[in-house]
Chains A and B, each alone.
Chain A
Amino acid sequence: MLWMTLGVRDLLKNKGFSFFFVLNLSLGLAGFIAIHSFGRSLDRHFDTNLKEILTADLVVAANRAIAAKDLERINSFLGNDYTHSRQVSFYSMIRTTIRNQAHTRLVRVMAIDNSYPLYGAFEMAQGSTPTDLQTRPYVFMSTDTAYALGLEPGSGKNSTLDIGEQAFILKDHVVSDPENSLTSFSFAPRIYIGIDQLDRTGLIRYGSRIWVSHFYRLAPDTDADQISKRLKDRFSQLYKDQPPYYIYTSNDVNRRLGRLTRYFTSYMGLVSVVTLFLAGIATAYLFRGYLNLKRKEMAILMSVGGSKQSIWFYISFQLILLGTAASFLATLASFFIIPAFPMIFKGLIPDNVILSVSPSALALAMGLGMAGSMIFCLPVFIQIFDIKPLMLLRGTPDTATSWLKQVLSLLPGVTAFVMISIYAAGKLKTGLVFVGGFTLAIGVLFLIGQGFVQACKRLSQSRTPVVKIAFRNLYRNQWTSLSIFVTIALGTFLISLIPQVQNGLQTEIIKPDGLKIPVFFLVDIQDEQKAPFVAFMEKQDAIISNLSPMVRGRILKRNNQPFHQRSDESRRRRGRRLEFNFSFRETLDVSETITQGDPISTEYWDWESNTPFDISVEESFAKENKIALNDILEFEIQGIPFTGQVKNFRKVRWNSFQPNFFLLFQNGVLNDAPKTHLAAISQVPMDQRQQLKNRIVDQFPNISVIDVTQMANTILGISNKLSLSIRFMAWLAIAAGLISIFSIARHEAWKNRNQINLLKVLGSEYPAIRAITLIEFGVIGFAAALFAILLSYGFSFGISWYFFDNLWQINGIISILILILTTLICMGTALSASRKVMNTKPIHLLTSGT
């Protein structure tokens, strides 16, 4: 009790310091909570987004009814807590009679049950629900589709359509439907009927081509990918490598979108670990600083009979009190700040993201604040146990702690850090890589710091007194200088890791400059239709944003070896792909860039030359099939052999929405081959779309028009959100990091006040003192930040290489900004501290005990 009372009394008497300490610590912790919570919220948001696209966690689908026994097998993998929905979809020609004229038209009939969708929802013009479809022959469709079919909702003459043998009534318009058709292109508009009405159509019988999907929504935090993998393995066993079922999760919906969200999760992990490290550094620094200030008091207490245990308890109790206060303050602040994010940062963060304080972040921050004191301060405590009250007589701390003891005392802290990092990163590997890199960085920065101190020694030979004093101070207090250098450098290093990765990711995610978002894809344009089609489109209120010839053929050999596509599980399921589409184009699309090799020749290839023609290979295709530059590929197109050579690798931006091809050939190879054309149509006014579609079909009946508006909107919407979030998180992390640096610098400046005071007592004028302080802190801040940023380039490149498929780009502006801000923060805090000292009586500082 005595020690607790003493501890509290001490803190209360020392209000200024306690407040300052708690404020500094809580800033760091609040930053961590905010970033972690924000990241988790966004992660959840994108996860839900993906699930809403699929409308489920897991889908098992087949081109026939799934056997009851297999459904039971599936259920046994899902645990007890799941919901289920069944859907049957198929193409059909429906009939309508408008003004006594019969029309038939291809639609995609989606027969849904009451539970559909498991994620997301229908938005209906009149608020109907899937339940309405089950008991009566009702149908839902979009306004566009209804218009195209000449239908109006209600019970009038113009609201009936025949699907198979049953007349259905258009009940309501779908404003937005749950499935965004990212899974496949659809040649026809979707219409919805109740699954219970399916039999009445008489369309489902032997030979019918249907698609049966079973959707599953699993308990939260269930690893759907893991279940999917196990199910696939199980069915592979049962059906001897020819499983009749397609099993996919939200990550499979759109491979690239899935990959991007995985990037995002990794990125959030990175940001989270970085802010955790920053908060950790600031916390450890403040705690250790506190302990060093308390050394003499501890000696006094020992000299009047306090045992080491009770003194340890006394100090720990104080630290825990301060840490707890800071954690509570940070928690309280984050409860106010985080919900205000969408308002404060309107336009900077994605709309419709539900932000909530992450309980795990709170727990971590609490743990960091409360238990952190014990863990981080153990190395200092170990030294304190070797303090003798002797220092009261000698005036200098006399500690010689053994090496082993010091290393051992670091272990709990390091262990805790590793564990928290793994937690914050969300992955064992990620966490370990970060911790490893961080340790390495500390080592490197320590060495650089020593070099810096040596450099200060040289610079202290200056003739300008102020400069001389400043550099001499840095050099003479070399341990202090080194520790500030390393700490500030570590902080800057961590902050600066993010912008490069962010820049790389963002460049990958945002839509390419000059991209025209397509509205329609047109397939099967015949060669002889090309000219009339172009002429036709010129008269329309739209543009052709891409028109690519397409020739189908096989790849026979690669470097004289038979060409086989890698036969992984998915290939096996879909059957081996041997046929490919080839194309050629005069200039690359805006979404394409050559990553390796030279552009393919623009010369007209002469086959008589007997030289192989140039080929451009899409990067991921090359990687997947182990194709290298200068490889010789042999093709067969319509029975004719060709030989080409890989000239370059080409990266295609994932969200280009343009017809892209794995292989592009040199001009002249395919010009006369039998081919069709693919076109993308852009810039069609909203209200013109349906008419344009009808006009194209009327004019060119063989051309299929695929409406990609919704898909493009979904993907662009998500990528915009991702991009926005990634940038915002980077800024947030930088802000949090600068705050940490600020609290470290401020603490250091405060410690420096004795020296300033001494200068003052010795008669230095304020301008000289100010200059000395500014040089000292400015130089140390600048040097630390500069080296840290340079080091961070190397590390962030490594991180990008390891986690983000090499998406890395120097973010020069932000680097310079970080450099300037760090230097300014160091100088600013030092300046304000020195000004405070100038306004204090020297005697007060001398007597108040140091």
Chain B
Amino acid sequence: MIHSRVNRFILAALFFTSVIANASHAAGKPYHIVILGDSLSSGLGVEPEQAYPSLVQVRLKSSGRDHIKITNASISGSTTAGAVSRLKWFLRAKPDMVILALGANDGLRGLSIKEMEQNLGACIELALDKQIKTVLAGMKIPPNYGQEYTRAFETAFENLSRTYDIPLIPFLLKDVAGKSGLNQADGIHPNADGHKIIARTVLETILEQL
């Protein structure tokens, strides 16, 4: 009876591990990276292959790092509130590295920064506890939210990085944010060209950490 209620996600998680296990025979030790993000990472408004996680995967492959597998676990509109439970779910796939790219929605909705810090902190603790390499992607909030809030928001990422001594991508949208040619008409989501730049930024950090 219990068996019949085994859900697909658990089995899928097993599936991940088996794929990875198989891959290990082919090229070196398999390495699994999970990107836990929001719409910026899920590629809202662009094709899945144009979103930066896919681009990073392609570049890793073309540079001969076939053993590295990237899972894009991003959900548009998600906030840091669901970070821990989402990470818990992906722990089943035993990732080697997690890139936390959350917080933008917290900021845009004016949610409490303290709360955001706590959520991300809990998530980092969980990852570190499971001995997963954790990378924090820093975020900035547009200046119209007011100096005090935007500064506090930025600082939160720096604080977390320092507190947990984990690497920080200072700003995920570096060289992309605010540039009309690199963003969609809504002015906030990167277009395909924008994603190429983000891929470069993220790839740099990944390579540093490997």
Residues in A lying within 8 Å of B, measured CB to CB: 62-64, 90-95, 104-106, 109, 163-165, 187-188, 202-210, 242-244, 246, 523-524, 526-529, 552, 554, 573-579, 604, 606-608, 638-640, 642, 668-669, 671-674, 676, 701-702, 704
**Given A64-B180, A524-B81, A702-B80, is A671 in contact with B144 using a C-beta cutoff of 8 Å?**
no
Complex CA–CA separation, A165 to B144 (angstroms): 11
Question: Chain B contacts of A574 at CB under 8 A?
Answer: 45, 185-186
Bound-state Cα–Cα, A154 to B106, Å: 33
The answer on a CB contact under 8 Å between B12 and A671 is no
Out of B42, B44, B71, name the residue touching A575 (CB < 8 Å). Answer: B44
CB distance from A89 to the nearest CB of B (A): 10
Surface stretch bound by A, among B120-128, B146-154, B159-167, B199-207:
B146-154
* Among candidates B89, B109, B178, residue contacting A674 with C-beta atoms closer than 8 Å: B89
Q: What A residues does B46 contact at CB under 8 A?
A: 575-576
Q: B148 contacts A95, CB within 8 Å?
A: yes
Q: Is B111 an interface residue (CB 8 A)?
A: yes
3 closest residue pairs by CB, A with B: A106-B110, A575-B45, A63-B187
Partner of A672, one of B7, B79, B112, B185: B7
- A91 CB to nearest chain B CB (Å): 6
A642 to B147, CA, bound (A): 45
Q: Write the nearest CB–CB distance from B146 to chain A, whole angstroms.
A: 5
Instruction: Determine the distance from Cα of A701 to Cα of B187 in the docked complex, in whole angstroms.
Output: 27
Report the minimal beta-carbon distance from B48 to chain A, rounded to whole angstroms: 7
Q: Is the CB of B82 within 8 A of A674?
A: yes
Shortest C-beta distance, B45 to chain A (Å), equals 3
A460–B14 Cα distance when bound, in Å, is: 88
Q: Other CB < 8 Å A-B pairs besides A91-B108, A207-B142, 4 of them?
A: A574-B186, A640-B9, A702-B115, A704-B111
Contacts of B72 in A (CB 8 A): 639
Chain B nearest Cβ from A514, distance in angstroms: 30
| Interface magnitude class on chain B | 35 or more
Which chain B residues border A573 with CB–CB below 8 Å? Answer: 185
- Please report the number of residue pairs spanning A and B whose Cβ atoms sit closer than 8 angstroms: 152
How many whole Å from A637's CB to the nearest CB in chain B? 9
Partner of B85, one of A93, A204, A528, A642: A528
CA distance A264 to B44 in the complex (A): 37
- Residues of chain B in range 10-56 having any CB-CB distance to chain A below 8 Å: 10-12, 42, 44-48
Docked Cα-Cα span, A578 to B51, in Å, equals: 12
Query: Which B residues lie at the A interface, using CB under 8 A?
Result: 4-12, 42, 44-48, 71-73, 75-82, 85-86, 89, 106, 108-112, 115, 119, 140, 142-149, 177-178, 180, 184-189, 191
Q: A209-B187, A575-B189 are in contact. Are A554 and B48 (CB under 8 A)?
A: yes
Show 18 A/B contacts (Cβ-Cβ < 8 Å), sorted by A.
A63-B187, A91-B108, A91-B145, A94-B146, A104-B146, A207-B140, A209-B142, A209-B144, A524-B79, A526-B85, A552-B76, A574-B45, A575-B45, A604-B5, A639-B12, A639-B73, A640-B8, A669-B8
Q: Please, how many angstroms separate the alpha-carbon atoms of A242 and B186 in the complex?
A: 11
Minimum CB–CB distance from B5 to chain A (whole Å) comes to: 7
A243 to B12, CA, bound (A): 42
Please tell me which one of the listed residues B7, B48, B112 contacts residue A701 in the complex, with CB atoms under 8 A apart: B112
Q: Which residues of A contact B177 (CB under 8 A)?
A: 207
A377 to B177, CA, bound (A): 75
CB pair B146 A164 closer than 8 Å:
yes
CB distance from A845 to the nearest CB of B (A): 82
- Residue among A64, A575, A639 making CB contact with B184, cutoff 8 Å: A575
Contact indicator B109/A104 (Cβ below 8 Å): no
Nearest A residue to B188, CB-CB: A209
List of A residues within 8 angstroms of B6 by Cβ:
608
Please determine whether A606 and B4 come into contact, CB atoms closer than 8 angstroms.
Answer: yes
Asked if B81 and A526 sit within 8 Å, CB to CB, the answer is yes
Contacts of B79 in A (CB 8 A): 524, 702
B185 touches A243 (CB 8 A): yes
- Whether A104 lies near B143 (C-beta < 8 A) is no
The chain A residue with its CB closest to the CB of B6 is A608
Known: A64-B180, A187-B110, A526-B85. A676 touches B8 (CB 8 A): no
Contact A104 B148 (CB under 8 A): yes
Cβ-closest chain A residue relative to B110? A106
Partner of B142 from the list A165, A208, A671 (CB cut-off 8 Å) is: A208
Q: In angstroms, how far is the closest chain B Cβ from the Cβ of A73?
A: 18
What is the bound-complex CA distance between A28 and B147, given in angstroms? Answer: 71
Chain B residue contacts of A244, Cβ below 8 A: 180, 185
In the assembled complex, the Cα of A552 lies from the Cα of B105 at a distance in Å of 16
* Residues in B whose Cβ lies below 8 Å from that of A638: 9, 73, 75, 89
Are the CB atoms of A552 and B75 closer together than 8 Å?
yes
Residues of A within 8 A of B119 (CB): 702
Given contacts A527-B82, A701-B111, are A579 and B76 in contact (CB under 8 A)?
yes
Complex Cα–Cα for A529 and B71 (A) = 26
| CB-defined contacts of B149 to chain A, threshold 8 Å | 93, 104
Contacts of B9 in A (CB 8 A): 638, 640, 672-673
Chain B residues positioned under 8 Å from A668 (CB to CB): 7
A205 touches B143 (CB 8 A): yes
| Given A187-B109, A701-B115, A208:B144 Cβ within 8 A | yes
Structural contact, A524 and B77, CB atoms closer than 8 A = yes
CA distance A640 to B119 in the complex (A): 26
CA distance A106 to B46 in the complex (A): 29
Q: Is the CB of B42 within 8 A of A579?
A: yes
**Chain B residues within 8 Å of A62, by CB:** 185
Question: Smallest distance from the beta carbon of A80 to chain B beta carbons, Å?
Answer: 30
B76 & A63 in contact (Cβ 8 Å cutoff): no
Bound CA span A205–B146, Å: 11
Q: Which residues of A contact B144 (CB under 8 A)?
A: 90-92, 109, 164, 203-204, 208-210
Measured between alpha carbons, how far is A671 from B178 in the docked complex, in Å? 39
Asked if residues B109 and A106 are in contact (CB atoms below 8 Å), the reply is: yes
Contact (Cβ within 8 A) B82 A526: yes
Name the distance in Å between A542's Cβ and chain B's nearest Cβ.
Answer: 22
Provide the residues of chain A in CB contact with B73, threshold 8 Å: 638-639
